[in-house]
Amino acid sequence: MSYADLHVHSNASDGTLDPAALVREVAARGATGLSLTDHDTMAGLDEAAAEAVRLELAWLSGCEVSALAGEQSVHLLAYGMQPGTGPLAELLSDIRDDRRSRAKAIVRRFNELGVPLKWEAVAREAVGGVPTRAHVARAIVDSGLMPNVQAVFARYLGDGGPAYVEKEPVSPATVFDAVHEAGGVVVLAHPGHAYSDDQIVAWAGQGLDGIEVMHPKNRGQRRDELRALAYRLDLLSTGGSDWHGDRGGGMEPGTEKVPMEWMEAVAARCGVSL
């Protein structure tokens, strides 16, 4: 069966593999189509796209954009947009600037808590990309201060944890408008039970285009509920592994065998050819 993985991360954000190597790994696991969806950056798309073409994989540009609804974090997957396009490029640049400031504030928070974390260790983990909480957690583990990334998040970095620092607010509607102007569509990432159906209905009225139905966080009956909601609201259905490479977290490519028809529907809504 042909399938796609529409949610993976490279070291252009918080993954561990460079974009081309990530594409090769996804292909090796059997996918015939993919989208690279790094956090708040499109820096790895050209490299990934070239490798996808070389391997004759269906390719769709992507990005996972950070937003806030009140105090609630909302991750939105953008697909099919043109990189470097006006408001979207400006929005992503602003979010990346905030990520850098936030990461430095998290390091200071750790130091205040008595954890001797150095900013240089976080910067090395980010390898020139945008630093995230995942990079901070890996730097702590590599420094021998805690046993694993999961422990760091559980004790310090999870939402509301003692080292947690909130992002600057960006509304979902702002993301919808910027991505649409760039020719793309927006899909709600890994909703699980984090958002009510009423919230999803409201976002659909503001411009949300789809729901990530197939994702490791969407367990059991919730998948059926989300698929039915997407059908009722005429929203796209997508899915992916959320793989970040070795040591990076997420399930491995191939875990979610997303039908190629779903990828084709996203591309058609964007007006692009696979």
pLDDT value at 82 more than 70: yes
Segment 35-61 shows an average pLDDT of 96
Are 87 and 182 within one domain?
Answer: yes
Own/partner long-range contacts of 53-56 (Cβ < 8 Å, ≥24 apart): 55/23, 55/24, 55/27
**Residue numbers of the domain that contains 123:** 104-157
Q: Is 229 within the bounds of a domain? A: yes
- pLDDT digits 0-9 by tens, 170-185: 999 999 999 999 999 9
Q: What is the pLDDT of residue 71?
A: 83
Q: What is the pLDDT of residue 249?
A: 63
Is the separation of the CB atoms in 9 and 245 below 8 Å? Answer: yes
Nearest to 61 by CA among 74, 76, 48, 75: 48
Which of these three, 157, 176, 193, is where a domain ends? Answer: 157
Is the separation of the CB atoms in 8 and 243 below 8 Å? Answer: yes
Are 58 and 115 within one domain?
Answer: no
Are 78 and 108 within one domain?
Answer: no
Place of tokens 């957690």: 137
* CA separation, residue 2 to residues 5, 68, 107, 258 (Å): 11, 35, 44, 8
Instruction: Give SS3 for 124.
Output: helix
- pLDDT digits 0-9 by tens, 202-224: 999 999 999 999 999 998 899 99
| Tokens linked to 259 | 């039908």
Q: What is the pLDDT of residue 129?
A: 78
Are 26 and 60 within one domain?
Answer: yes
Are 143 and 27 within one domain?
Answer: no
Which of these three, 136, 157, 178, is where a domain ends? Answer: 157
Q: Is 163 within the bounds of a domain? A: no
- pLDDT digits 0-9 by tens, 242-268: 999 876 566 888 889 999 999 999 999
Domain count, the chain: 2
Q: What is the pLDDT of residue 248?
A: 59
Q: What is the pLDDT of residue 182?
A: 95
Average pLDDT over all residues of the chain:
93
Q: Is 211 within the bounds of a domain? A: yes
Interior/surface letters 105-120, b for 16+ CB within 10 angstroms, e for the rest? ebbebbeeeebebebe
Distance CA 180, CA 10 (A): 24
Q: Is 162 within the bounds of a domain? A: no
Please report which confidence band the pLDDT of residue 239 belongs to, taking 50, 70 and 90 as the band edges. very high
Instruction: Give SS3 for 210.
Output: strand
Are 181 and 234 within one domain?
Answer: yes
Which of these three, 114, 129, 157, is where a domain ends? Answer: 157
Are 66 and 178 within one domain?
Answer: yes
Are 239 and 218 within one domain?
Answer: yes
Q: What is the pLDDT of residue 127?
A: 82
Is the separation of the CB atoms in 22 and 36 below 8 Å? Answer: yes
Q: What is the pLDDT of residue 111?
A: 96
- pLDDT digits 0-9 by tens, 117-169: 999 999 998 887 788 898 999 999 998 989 998 999 999 999 889 999 988 88
Q: Is 99 within the bounds of a domain? A: no
Are 41 and 146 within one domain?
Answer: no
pLDDT value at 52 more than 70: yes
Q: Is 96 within the bounds of a domain? A: no
Segment 7-19 shows an average pLDDT of 93
Q: Is 243 within the bounds of a domain? A: yes
CATH number for the domain including 196? 3.20.20.140
Are 111 and 218 within one domain?
Answer: no
Q: What is the pLDDT of residue 269?
A: 96
| Cβ atoms < 10 Å from Cβ of 237 | 22
Are 122 and 42 within one domain?
Answer: no
From the centroid of its chain, how far is CA 43? 14
Are 71 and 147 within one domain?
Answer: no
| Tokens linked to 250 | 């997420």
* CA separation, residue 205 to residues 153, 173, 234, 256 (Å): 34, 10, 11, 28
